[in-house]
Structure 1
Amino acid sequence: ECLKWMVEAGANVNRASDHNGETALHGVAGSAEARSVRLLLEHGANPNARTKPGMRTYALWRDARVRGETPLHRAAAWGSPQVIQLLLDAGADPTIRDANKDTPLSWASWYLRDKSIIDQLWYEGSGVGPDFPPDNPTNS
């Protein structure tokens, strides 16, 4: 309710932290709170906003530094299919790589998410998948 009140009162949903570039969408995408994600997206939140690589974050992740990730990276790590779908439907780009060259698919696999999450991010024609050289025997 607090988020709804702030957004309806005219809060800038794309306001990014001067320190690390995190937006409200980064914060709620890293949770299973689909209602908050939907609210921010309906009010124009950018699903492709990126954090500033190397800066400290206060989110609970595998390390304490952001890596130029998008809200979709965080949703993939958290593993909420509803949040991932909301972001994809809003135009989130699953091919964006963070500062370590990882896609949201990489984050989902790092955090051992269900096959349904992997399938959601690695859909036909997306160009997102393992980066095997064409002559690599594991690519057959």
Structure 2
Amino acid sequence: MRLPVVESLLNSNPKSAYVKDDDERLPIHWAVAYNHLPVVELLVASKNFDPDVEDGSGWTPLMIAASLKDASGDAIIELLIRKGADVSAKSNSGQNALHFASSKNNISTVRALIANKCSARVKDKRGQLPIHRAAAVGSVPILKTLLEEGKSPVNATDADGYTALHQAIAEGHGPAAILLLKSGADPLKRDSDGKLAIELVPDDKVCFHSRAKMPELTLSLSNQKVKQFILQTAEREGIELP
């Protein structure tokens, strides 16, 4: 998507900015998806631009930007918010931009969204909060941000009865599980199948983090099984597990 081509098309037919494709996506959705900031700047300056226009899945440009790899959509998010984008908008699946940013491990995006009042307390249609997404990818920095800055509840359950602790342990993320436990996660909560979080640990997985991103966790995790790491670290931290 080259800027001169887009400029030429808009000059010849300004209404082309509002032509939807089969997925109900406008040029703004595609410009954001491909992280073409100059084209985005051009499109948002067009007459009657709607920063909250949705595609067929209910995704707004802000949500797409929050999902870009390595937080590369942050500049676009800043622009969209200046143009009045609603950070509280939800997709057809009930997810807000924080769900998407957390899933992609975009810590700077998460911080920017929370600073602009995007709620960390919104559940999607699966009953998941952004903290469930952060736990699933094992992001300690995002978990801390959602808890401390976003005031996310730590023991909220999704449609399967999973807390963020269940999610972190099921995915083999030892440091994330320890952070959640230290933040008040209840190890005695059971999911819809009656399982404790510690019972979901994938014993055959190995935690490959060379260093946990927490001052308290300096132990090398190389070649240590997740359950062993969680149990040993919890004991050292004075956390009682069942």
| Residue pair 1:25, 1:45 contacting (<8 A) in 2 also | yes
Deviations 1:40-98 (A, max 9, x none): 0000011011011xxxxxxxxxxxxxx21000000000111111111001201111000
Q: Displaced runs of 4+ in structure 1, greater than 6 A?
A: none
Match of 2:89 among 11, 15, 37: 15
Instruction: Note if contact 1:76-1:117 (Cα within 8 Å) is conserved in structure 2.
Output: yes
Amino acid at match of 1:74: R
Report the TM-score when normalising by structure 1.
Answer: 0.77
Among 96, 100, 107, the residue aligned to 2:160: 100
Matched-pair contact (CA < 8 Å) for 1:77–1:108: yes
Structure 2, unpaired ranges of 5+: 1-74, 191-240
Tell me if the contact between 1:31 and 1:80 (Cα under 8 Å) persists in the aligned partners: no
TM-score calculated relative to the size of structure 2: 0.46
Amino acid aligned to 1:45: C
**Structure 1 pair 127–118 and aligned structure 2 pair: CA distance change class (3 A):** closer
Over aligned residues, Cα RMSD in angstroms?
A: 1.9
Superposition deviation, residue 32 in structure 1: 1.8
Q: Secondary structure at the match of 1:77?
A: helix
d(CA) in 2 for partners of 1:68, 1:75: 14
Aligned residues: 118
For the pair shown, the structure with the greater C-alpha radius of gyration is 2
Q: Which has the higher contact order (CA 8 A, sep 6+)?
A: 1
Q: Which of 118, 123, 128 in structure 2 is aligned with 1:45?
A: 118
The separation in 2 between residues aligned to 1:70 and 1:50, in whole angstroms, is 5
